[in-house]
Structure 1
Amino acid sequence: MNFSKYQTITLLCTGMLLGTAGCSNLDDTVLGKLSSTEATGTGGVAIDPASSLQGVYSALNSFADQANQYALEEHSSDEMQGPTRGTDWDDFGTWRKLHQHTWDSQHNQIIDAWNNLNSGVFKATQTISVASNNAAIKAEAQFLRAFFMFYVVDLYGQVPVREATDAADANPKVLDRSAATDYILADLAAAIPVLPSVTASTNNKASKEAAQFLLAKVLLNKAVYKQSPATPAGPFTFAKADMDAAIVACNTIMSSGKFSIQPKGGYFDMFAPDNTALSKENIFVIANDNSSQPGNVRNRYYMGLHYSQQPSGWNGFTTLADFYNSFDKADERLGKAYPGVTDKIGTRAGFLVGQQYDEKGVALKDRSGNPLVFTPDVNLSYATEAKGIRVMKYVPQPGFLDNPSNDYVFFRYADVVLMKAEAILRGGTDPMGQTAEKLVNDLRANRSVAAKTPIDLKAILAERGFELYYEGWRRNDQIRFGTFLDPVDNRPTKSADTKVVYPIPQRALDSNPNLKQNPGY
Structure 2
Amino acid sequence: MKLIKQYILALVIPVTLGACNNDLDEIVYSDVTEQNYTYESATAAMGIVYANMRSLFGHTNFYMVQETTSDELVMPANPSGWDDGGVFKRMHLHTWNSENPQLLNMWNVLYRGVTNANRVISQLESGKVPTPSGESTASLVAEMRAARAFFYWLICDNFGDAPLVTTTTTELPDKAARKEIYDFIVAELTAAMPDLSVETGRPVHGRFNRWAAKALLANIYLNAQVYTGEAKWADCLRECNDIIGSNKYSLETNYRNVFATQNENSAEIVLAVPFDENRGGGFFVDMFSWHAALRDKRAMQVTPWGSGSAMGISQFIDTYDPADKRLADTWLMGAQFALDGVTPLKGSYDKAGQNLVFTKNLPDGLFTGESEGYRQNKFEIKVGARFDLSNDFPFFRYSQVLMMKAECMMRSGDANGAAQIVTDVRRRNFSDPAKAIVTGASLLANTRYRYGYVENYVMVDAGNTDPVQFGGFMDELGWEFAWEAQRRRDNIRFGVFTKKSWLSHKPQGAGRAVFMIPQSAVNSNPKLQ
Normalized against structure 2, the TM-score is what?
A: 0.82
Whole-angstrom distance in 1 between the partners of 2:510 and 2:504: 15
Q: Which amino acid aligns with 2:269?
A: N
Q: CA separation of 1:403/1:83 partners in 2, compared to 1, >3 Å: closer, same or farther?
A: closer
Whole-angstrom distance in 2 between the partners of 1:11 and 1:321: 52
Say if 1:306 and 1:313, in contact at 8 Å, map to a contact too.
yes
Residue 302 of structure 1: aligned partner: 287
Note if 1:154 corresponds to 2:157.
Answer: yes
1:101-146 Cα distance to aligned partner (Å, 9 max, x none): 0001111111111111011111111111221172122111101100
Q: Displacement of 1:261 after TM fit?
A: 1.6
Note if 1:252 corresponds to 2:245.
Answer: no
Note if 1:52 corresponds to 2:50.
Answer: no
* Residue correspondence of structure 1 range 279-428 to structure 2 within 5 A: 279-289=266-276, 291-292=278-279, 294-297=280-283, 299-310=284-295, 311=300, 312-314=303-305, 315-335=308-328, 349-358=329-338, 359-367=340-348, 368-378=352-362, 379-427=364-412
Q: Which runs of 5+ in 1 are unaligned?
A: 1-9, 35-40, 228-236, 336-348, 517-521
Say if 2:93 and 2:504, in contact at 8 Å, map to a contact too.
yes
Say if 2:54 and 2:275, in contact at 8 Å, map to a contact too.
no
Q: Which amino acid aligns with 1:222?
A: A
* Residue correspondence of structure 1 range 148-227 to structure 2 within 5 A: 148-166=151-169, 168=170, 170-201=171-202, 202-227=204-229
Note if 1:65 corresponds to 2:43.
Answer: no
Q: How many residues are treated as equivalent by the alignment?
A: 462
Q: CA separation of 1:47/1:24 partners in 2, compared to 1, >3 Å: closer, same or farther?
A: farther
Whole-angstrom distance in 1 between the partners of 2:519 and 2:385: 41
Whole-angstrom distance in 2 between the partners of 1:444 and 1:494: 32
Residue 144 of structure 1: aligned partner: 147
Whole-angstrom distance in 2 between the partners of 1:285 and 1:295: 14
Say if 1:418 and 1:460, in contact at 8 Å, map to a contact too.
no
Whole-angstrom distance in 2 between the partners of 1:218 and 1:46: 37
Q: CA separation of 1:123/1:28 partners in 2, compared to 1, >3 Å: closer, same or farther?
A: farther
Whole-angstrom distance in 1 between the partners of 2:477 and 2:25: 47
Q: Displacement of 1:289 after TM fit?
A: 4.4
Q: Which amino acid aligns with 2:175?
A: V
Larger Rg: 2
1:349-390 Cα distance to aligned partner (Å, 9 max, x none): 521222222232333220111121212222333322111111
**SS class of match (1:193):** helix
1:237-273 Cα distance to aligned partner (Å, 9 max, x none): 52xxx2111111001111111111221xx11111111
Residue 477 of structure 1: aligned partner: 490
Q: CA separation of 1:445/1:22 partners in 2, compared to 1, >3 Å: closer, same or farther?
A: farther
Q: Which runs of 5+ in 2 are unaligned?
A: 18-23, 27-32, 128-136, 445-469
Residue 449 of structure 2: aligned partner: none
Whole-angstrom distance in 2 between the partners of 1:33 and 1:158: 35
1:322-355 Cα distance to aligned partner (Å, 9 max, x none): 11111111111112xxxxxxxxxxxxx5212222
**SS class of match (2:436):** coil
Say if 1:247 and 1:428, in contact at 8 Å, map to a contact too.
no
Whole-angstrom distance in 2 between the partners of 1:124 and 1:244: 30
Q: Which amino acid aligns with 2:497?
A: F
Say if 2:179 and 2:228, in contact at 8 Å, map to a contact too.
yes
Say if 1:286 and 1:295, in contact at 8 Å, map to a contact too.
no
Whole-angstrom distance in 1 between the partners of 2:270 and 2:183: 24
**SS class of match (2:419):** helix
Normalized against structure 1, the TM-score is what?
A: 0.83
Which range moves more in the overlay, 73-82 or 367-376? 367-376
Residue 272 of structure 1: aligned partner: 260
Q: Displacement of 1:11 after TM fit?
A: 8.6
Which range moves more in the overlay, 135-144 or 59-68? 59-68
1:459-483 Cα distance to aligned partner (Å, 9 max, x none): 2211110000010011011101101
Q: Displacement of 1:395 after TM fit?
A: 0.4
Say if 1:295 and 1:407, in contact at 8 Å, map to a contact too.
no
Which range moves more in the overlay, 132-141 or 497-506? 132-141
Q: CA separation of 1:33/1:261 partners in 2, compared to 1, >3 Å: closer, same or farther?
A: farther
Whole-angstrom distance in 2 between the partners of 1:271 and 1:514: 42
Q: Which amino acid aligns with 2:180?
A: A
How big is the alpha-carbon RMSD for the aligned residues of Structure 1 and Structure 2?
2.6
**SS class of match (1:13):** coil
Whole-angstrom distance in 2 between the partners of 1:193 and 1:434: 34
**SS class of match (2:272):** strand
Q: Displacement of 1:290 after TM fit?
A: 5.2
Q: Which amino acid aligns with 1:151?
A: L
Whole-angstrom distance in 2 between the partners of 1:72 and 1:441: 30
Note if 1:78 corresponds to 2:68.
Answer: no
Whole-angstrom distance in 1 between the partners of 2:325 and 2:501: 25
Q: CA separation of 1:409/1:22 partners in 2, compared to 1, >3 Å: closer, same or farther?
A: farther
Residue 121 of structure 2: aligned partner: 128
Say if 1:64 and 1:295, in contact at 8 Å, map to a contact too.
no
% identity of equivalent residues: 30
Q: CA separation of 1:165/1:77 partners in 2, compared to 1, >3 Å: closer, same or farther?
A: closer
